[in-house]
Copies of this chain bind each other. A is one copy, B any other.
Amino acid sequence: MMVRWRTQSSVAISADAASWILIDASPDILAQLRSFPEAQPSRAIRDTAIAGIVLTDSQIDHTTGLLMLREGPPLRVYCTDSVRDDLTTANPLFGILAHYCGVEWQRLETRDMARFHVQGVPGLTLRAVPLSSKAPPYSRYRHDPHEGDTLGLQVTDDATGRTLFYAPGLGRMEPHVRAIFERANCLMVDGTFWTDDEMIRLGISDKRAEDMGHLPQSGAGGMMEVLAGYRRARKILVHVNNTNPILDEDSSERGELTAAGIEVAHDGMEIVL
C-alpha cells in the first residue's frame, strides 16, 4: 500500500506566473502557499501573488481558507449569488472578514456561461459552468437546488486558445457540460468517490455519492466511462475523498485509472496547459 498524504483541493492558475487566480480556498491554504514560492513574491509585508479568488461552491473545504488570508489587503472573491448567500448567512465568512481584510465580491453569472476575467490577471478568460451537484449540508440550498450552487470553471489561455476545465463537484453529465468537456485540453474533474456506496460500505455515512452530488468513477455511467469519450484531453481527478481506494497507488482501482490514461492530482502538481 502506498498512499501519499494530500491537502484539500485548491488550485492556482496563471498565464504569466506573476499574477495568480486561486480557485477555491481550502483550509490547507497556508501550507499550500508555503510550498509554492511563486505565490509569495514578497513585494511587501504579508504580500501574496493571488489577485483574485474564484469559488466553485460554498463547501467548507473550498471556502474556509478565506479566513486564513484575512491579514492582508481586501480579498477579491468571485462567486455566484447562491454561494454568496451561504457565505453571508449560514456560514457568514464575508461578514467575519469585513472585520479584517474585507471582501470585494464580484458576482459570477452562469446565464449563457458569459466570459469573465479576474482583475489583475492578464491572459486568461474564464467561464462559470453551472453543474448538477449539491450545495453543502449547512446550506439553505442543500435540498432546494439553484443554478449556481456548484460551478465548473473553464479557463482559456488567450495566447494559445487551449482550455482547462476544473470541476471538483460534478454529479451528473449534461449536454452543456459535454460541450465543455469536448473542447477541453485538460479536464480536472470530480474524483471524490470510486463507488456510489463507498461511504455506506465503510459504515461512516448513510449517503450515496449521488446524494452528495458526486459522480463516482466506477460503474455504468461513471466518470471513467465518461472520460473515455474525450480522447484529446489530459485527464486528472481532483477532490479525492480519503475513502477512495485510488489514493493507494498500488490498488487495482488505481491501476484501472492508469490504464485508462487518467491521473490523480497530488500536492505540488504542476500542469502546463
Any chain B CB within 8 A of the CB of A15? no
Contact of A96 among B28, B46, B90 (CB under 8 A): B90
On whether A100 and B203 interact (CB within 8 A), knowing A5-B34, A92-B90, A92-B91, the answer reads: no
Instruction: Report B-chain residues with C-beta under 8 Å of the C-beta of A91.
Output: 92, 96
Chain A interface residue count, CB cutoff 8 Å, equals 28
Give, as a whole number of angstroms, the nearest-CB distance from A38 to chain B: 18
Complex Cα–Cα for A98 and B28 (A): 22
Q: Which A residues, 11 to 69, have Cβ-Cβ distances below 8 Å to chain B? A: 27-28, 30-31, 34, 45-46, 60, 64, 67-68
B100 to A137, Cβ gap below 8 A?
Answer: yes
Q: Interface of chain A, helix or strand or loop or mixed?
A: loop
* A residues adjacent to B (C-beta < 8 A): 5, 27-28, 30-31, 34, 45-46, 60, 64, 67-68, 70-71, 90-92, 95-96, 98-100, 136-138, 202-204
30 A-B pairs with CB atoms under 8 Å apart are A5-B34, A27-B27, A27-B64, A27-B67, A27-B68, A28-B30, A28-B31, A31-B31, A45-B202, A45-B203, A46-B204, A60-B67, A60-B70, A60-B96, A64-B64, A64-B67, A64-B68, A71-B204, A90-B92, A90-B95, A90-B96, A91-B96, A92-B92, A95-B138, A96-B138, A98-B138, A99-B137, A99-B138, A100-B137, A100-B138
